[in-house]
Amino acid sequence: MKILVTGGTGYIGSHTVVELQAKGHEVIIIDNLSNSNINVLDAIEKISGIKPEFENFDLADMAKTEDFFQRNNDIDGIIHFAAFKAVGESVDNPLMYYRNNLYSLVNILQGMKDNSIPNLVFSSSCTVYGQPEELPVNEEAPVQKAESPYGNTKQISEEVIFDTTKASDIKAIALRYFNPIGAHESTEIGELPLGVPNNLMPFITQTAIGIREQLSVFGDDYNTPDGTAIRDYIHVVDLAQAHVIAVERMVNKNMKKDFEYFNLGTGNGYSVLEVIKSFEKVSEQKLNYKIVGRRAGDVEQVWADTNFANDELGWKAKKNIDEMTLSAWKWELKLQTEK
Ligand code: WQD
Q: CA angle 238-227-182, nearest 5°?
A: 20
Q: Tell me, what's the pLDDT at 142?
A: 94
Domain-wise residue ranges, the chain: 2-181+233-264, 200-230+267-334
Please indicate whether residue 272, judged by its CB atom, sits closer than 6 Å to ligand 1: yes
Say which residues have a Cβ less than 8 Å from residue 232's Cβ, sequence separation at least 6. Answer: 126, 178, 179, 265, 266, 267, 268, 269, 270, 302, 303, 304
pLDDT value at residue 297: 81
Q: Which residues pair with 159 in a beta bridge?
A: none
d(C-alpha 109, C-alpha 125), whole Å = 19
- Asked if 218 and 293 touch (Cβ cutoff 8 Å), the reply is yes
Q: Which of 157, 295, 321 to mutate to test the pocket of ligand 1 (most atoms within 8 A of CB)?
A: 295
Mean pLDDT is lowest, of 7-11, 145-149, 313-317, for: 145-149
Q: Of 110, 103, 99, 30, nearest to 66 (Cα)? A: 110
CA of 87 to the centre of ligand 1 (A): 9
Indicate whether residue 275 lines ligand 1 (CB < 6 A): no
CA atoms of 125 and 248, how far apart (whole Å): 21
| CA quadruple 320, 128, 104, 93: dihedral sign | negative
Q: How confident is the model at residue 263 (pLDDT cuts 50, 70, 90)?
A: very high
Q: Is the CB of 154 under 6 A from ligand 1?
A: no
The candidate with the shortest Cα–Cα distance to 181, out of 206, 210, 202, is 202
- Does 193 have pLDDT greater than 90? no
Q: Are 17 and 29 in contact (CB under 8 A)?
A: yes
- Identify the pLDDT of residue 88: 83
Residue of 169, 79, 160 lying closest to 115 (CA atoms): 169
Q: How far is the CA of 11 from the centre of ligand 1 (A)?
A: 15
- State the Cα–Cα distance between residues 120 and 250, nearest whole angstrom: 8
Q: Which of 65, 54, 50, 40 is nearest to 20 (CA)?
A: 50
Residue 296 has pLDDT above 90, yes or no: no
Distance from residue 7's CA to the centre of ligand 1 (Å): 21
Q: Which atom of ligand 1 is nearest to the CA of 197?
A: 31
Backbone angles phi, psi at 192, to 5 degrees: -120, 75
Question: In terms of DSSP bridges, do strands 230-231 and 270-271 run parallel, antiparallel, or are they unpaired?
Answer: antiparallel
Q: Which superfamily does CATH assign the domain made up of 2-181+233-264 to?
A: NAD(P)-binding Rossmann-like Domain (3.40.50.720)
Q: What mean pLDDT do residues 277-287 have?
A: 98
295 lines ligand 1 (CB under 6 A): yes
Cα–Cα distance between 161 and 174 in angstroms, integer?
9
**Predicted pLDDT of residue 338:** 82
CA 232 to ligand 1 center in whole angstroms: 11
Measuring from atom 30 of ligand 1, which residue has the nearest CA?
Answer: 217
* CA–CA dist 101, 95 (Å, integer): 10
What is the mean pLDDT of the segment spanning 135-152? 93
How does pLDDT run across 22-61, given as a tens digit for each residue?
999 999 999 999 999 999 999 999 999 999 999 999 999 9
At residue 222, the 3 state secondary structure works out as coil
Query: From the alpha carbon of 229, which atom of ligand 1 is closest?
Result: 34
Omega prior to 136 cis, within 30 of 0: yes
In residues, how long is the chain? 339
Where in the sequence numbering do the catalytic residues fall?
150
Cα 94 to averaged position of ligand 1 atoms, centre (Å): 19
Average pLDDT for residues 18-22, to the nearest whole number? 98
Pocket perturbation via mutation, ligand 1, pick of 128, 191, 220, 272 by most ligand atoms within 8 A of CB: 272
Domain 200-230+267-334 classified CATH 3.30.300.30?
A: no
Q: Which of 140-144, 240-244, 289-293 has the lowest mean pLDDT?
A: 140-144
Strands 119-125 and 233-235 come out as unpaired
Q: What is the mean pLDDT of residues 120-144?
A: 95
In short, whether 303's Cβ falls inside 6 Å of ligand 1 is no
| Amino acid code (one letter) for 5 | V
**pLDDT band (50, 70, 90) for residue 83:** very high
Minimum-distance ligand 1 atom for the alpha carbon of 201: 27
Q: What percent of the chain has pLDDT over 90?
A: 94
Kindly state if the Cβ of 15 falls inside 6 Å of ligand 1: no
Rounded to the nearest 10°, the torsion over CA 295, 330, 323, 41 is: 90
Mean pLDDT of 278-289: 98
pLDDT band at residue 86 using 50, 70 and 90 as cut-offs? confident
Query: Cα separation of 1 and 252, whole Å?
Result: 10
Tell me if residue 241 falls in helix, strand or coil. Answer: helix
- Compute, in angstroms, the gap from residue 21 CA to the centroid of ligand 1: 30
pLDDT at position 339 over 80: no
State percent of the chain over pLDDT 70: 100
